[in-house]
Chains A and B, each alone.
Chain A
Amino acid sequence: MTTPAISVSGLRKAYKDKTVLDGVDFDVHAGTVFCLLGPNGAGKTTTVNVLTTLVQADGGAVRVAGHDIATDAKAVRAAIGVTGQFAAVDELLTGRENLQLMVDLNRRVAGGGARIVADLLDRFELTASADKPTSTYSGGMRRKLDLAMTLVGDPRIIFLDEPTTGLDPRSRRTMWSIVRDLVDDGATIFLTTQYLEEADQLADRLAVLDQGRLVAQGTPEELKRLIPGTHVRLRFSTAAELDAAAGIFPEATRDDDALALRVPADGGTKSLRALLDRLDEHSLSAEECSVRTPDLDDVFLALTGHATEVDTK
């Protein structure tokens, strides 16, 4: 097996007396997308900051692109690209000037780089606003420019800290397709997110971070087996109706307190119609019907036994 692009073992970090990372281990293989999933305050950004040499770890061994982050930070920086949680663009400069700044600062780029700048503007659909100051850009445009700046010099390992937080669904999808293109080009992606769907869409492997510890790690398929799948929740008005319904859906789980029944389903209209038809056949009707897809909260409930707790710092 080849050396992993990123290898982390026993990573610890505390700010004053507050432990943020409490012994984290994982490997990221070259050319794959690794996704770190967790709620606010789980330690995702701290992990990114340590791995990108912005913050020093208190303990553990971390190698990025084969270089030790503690002793060879310079080599690590030369190999990575980082897009932080908040767009780090120069607001007084134009989009083109921001990219040119990255070209000028990048030791990997030879020559003037006008071509690189033009290509990136084109690829991220920013050509039309290239010569406007970035202070006039929308949130989505800033994110795109931010990522374009990260790609100058073609880094082999790219860190994306919550790249889609705060983006509208359309921009989110654009961001996903950009990430897929990067992987197709052979880059390794380290991604953090709060969205289960995003991890599911992009990750080859994912790890769930909870209060500074990894509570689960595996492929999206492996993790999905651990959590309740998509289901339809039916709520009835009487206990007798619930009993009758439970009789016709033996695979369902019941919640007697809420007079509700949770029937596994794939969320599509076809299975939903089949389910409603069966209710009809037995002349049953539910007070309320809702389709639930599992979200981060379900993952946490399943993996840790507690809901996502947002630590107020």
Chain B
Amino acid sequence: MSTQSHSLVMLRRNLKHLTRNPTSVFNAVLMPIIIMLMFVYMFGDAFSVGVDYIDYATPGLILLAVCYGLGATATAVNSDMTKGIINRFKAMDVSRGAVLTGHVITSVLTNLIAIAALVGVAFLLGFSPEASLTDWLAVGGVVVLLAFAAGWFTVALGLSAKSPETAGMAAVPLVMLPFFSSAIVPAEKMGPGLRQFAEYQPFTPIIETVRGLLDSAPDTNDAAVAVAWCVAIALVGYLWARSAFTKRA
């Protein structure tokens, strides 16, 4: 048996957990849609962003959907660590990282389900992107890359937290981060301080990249910065997760 097959076993285990505890999936899928409806119907007309608000907001909401799934991942990782089952895995001849890889893949999959649902509803609300098939594939690539990076980072958060509850709380800043980016309104409309923060935080270039791709007018500079951020977050998350995992007996 190889690392891949052990990771697959762990993935299957996590997916079973999701079916036994569907509330967390509902949260991850429904919350972004509710937020979308709220912004599009309640506030959308109040923001003048130059284009249809649904076309402006969808890319940002896609990222928000990624972030909403993370709380469940952090909680699940931490429950594994605090409930003793991890010691069973560790004392078995099981590939060390399989538990963590399983959680990252589960996280990416829930993200993709949430995004598919969100984009579906966006189309019903009149979302009309210019994107070609290649652009869509690129959007998929960026989203998966972000989900993967955020997944490793969240696994590390989950490993470092003391209890499942604090692990869930630790992911909240990640959920809030897209609100302080160009997801909902363009950064240049924000006040000083917040504007600089929005311009330089990782989500803004990622959102701008997705937005550019959906307009079929990608900005290569944004894209390079976005990919760099994702790779950096994934790397930090992975190394942090690995050291936290080794430390936790």
Contacts and interface: CB of A to CB of B under 8 A. Distances in A.
B67 to A, nearest CB: 24
A107 B93 contact: yes
Nearest to A104: B9
A74 interface: yes
Contacts of A55: 249
Interface residues of B, number: 21
B1 interface: yes
Interface in A76-123: 77-78, 80, 82, 84, 86-93, 97, 101-102, 104-107
Given A107-B1, A149-B88, A90 B249 contact: no
Contacts of B85: 88-90
A52 interface: yes
Interface stretch (B14-22, B48-56, B187-195): B14-22
B124 interface: no
Given A80-B91, A101-B9, A107-B1, A92 B84 contact: no
Nearest to A51: B91
Contacts of B91: 52-54, 77, 80, 82
Contacts of B9: 101, 104-105
B13 A90 contact: yes
Contacts, number: 59
Q: Is the interface of B mostly helix, strand, loop or mixed?
A: helix
B87 A101 contact: no
Given A78-B93, A104-B9, A84 B88 contact: yes
Interface in B48-107: 83-85, 87-94
Interface in B1-16: 1, 6, 9, 12-13, 16
Contact of B16 (A86, A87, A92): A92
Interface string A120-152: 000000000000010000000000000001000
19 contacts: A49-B249, A52-B91, A54-B87, A74-B93, A77-B94, A88-B83, A88-B87, A92-B20, A93-B16, A93-B20, A102-B92, A104-B12, A105-B1, A105-B6, A105-B92, A105-B94, A106-B92, A106-B93, A149-B88
Interface of B: 1, 6, 9, 12-13, 16-17, 20-21, 83-85, 87-94, 249
